[in-house]
Amino acid sequence: MPRREERRDLQTIPVGSLGIIPLRGYESFAEKVDAFLVKWRKERENEHKGSLSFSGYERSSFILDSEVPRFGSGEGKGVIKESVRGDDLYLLVDITNYSMVYSLFDQENHMSPDDHYQDLKRIIAAVGGKARRINVIMPFLYEGRQHKRTGRESLDCAIALQELVAMGVDNIITFEAHDPRVMNAIPLHGFETVRTTYQFIKGLLNHIPDLQLDSDHM
């Protein structure tokens, strides 16, 4: 009996026009992601590119112009200089980037995870609920180590997740969460923790030529 080959051509309509907003310290990586997406979408064959549903599918850049300026007191505000109405936004934040600084009473102050998290909320607040969907990519989960209570302690990670969801965030994507069960704080919303085991092994094999993976060298 001849084998029957089944092929499924799955196409989805974009949720909205793609928009990328990198926060401080993430600009260079966001530019690489943006260049890849621009090239990929330009070369990808899709018969529906010209339809209204695919409006904004091909652009010269998906990065939106935004900033988080600070006042002399050290307080800040989020500013988005483009329209985000109906967009599918991806916010990139690196909360452990301590190299970022800001001026506080004429003194240089390094940004803590709390500062990065507050800037993230400022940008979300600047969106003002006009985006179609908000996704946060946070490689290192904010307060991920404070995921359970061993005494009279605050559950900072759970509170942070609930704050983001309350502000309109639909999906939170992180890498190797300290305890993935923290997603129980927001059970009805998207929470993805990506395992990086494959990337680590691939990186080791690509950069260490004499590395041997067998029972005698493990």
pTM exceeds cut of 0.75: yes
For residue 106, is it within any domain? Answer: yes
For residue 153, is it within any domain? Answer: yes
For residue 181, is it within any domain? Answer: yes
* Mean pLDDT computed over 63-76: 89
For residue 4, is it within any domain? Answer: no
Query: What pLDDT does residue 193 have?
Result: 92
Tell me how many domains the chain contains: 1
For residue 161, is it within any domain? Answer: yes
Cα gap 61→83, rounded to integer Å:
14
What percentage of the chain exceeds 70 in pLDDT? 90
pLDDT at 124 over 70: yes
On whether the CB atoms of residues 156 and 113 are closer than 8 A, the answer is no
Cα gap 16→70, rounded to integer Å:
31
Q: How far apart are the first and last CA of the chain?
A: 47
Which residues, listed in sequence order, are joined to residue 190 by a DSSP beta bridge?
A: 171
**pLDDT grade, residue 5 (50/70/90)?**
very low
* Mean pLDDT computed over 6-19: 70
CATH number of the domain that residue 91 is part of: 3.40.50.2020
Instruction: State pLDDT tens for residues 25-60.
Output: 999 999 999 999 999 888 877 666 667 767 777 889
Q: At what angle do helices 156-166 and 113-127 cross, to 10 degrees?
A: 20
For residue 174, is it within any domain? Answer: yes
pLDDT at 7 over 70: no
Domain that holds residue 93: 17-207
Query: What pLDDT does residue 48 have?
Result: 65
Instruction: State pLDDT tens for residues 155-177.
Output: 999 999 999 999 999 999 999 88
For residue 217, is it within any domain? Answer: no
For residue 183, is it within any domain? Answer: yes
Cα gap 62→4, rounded to integer Å:
42
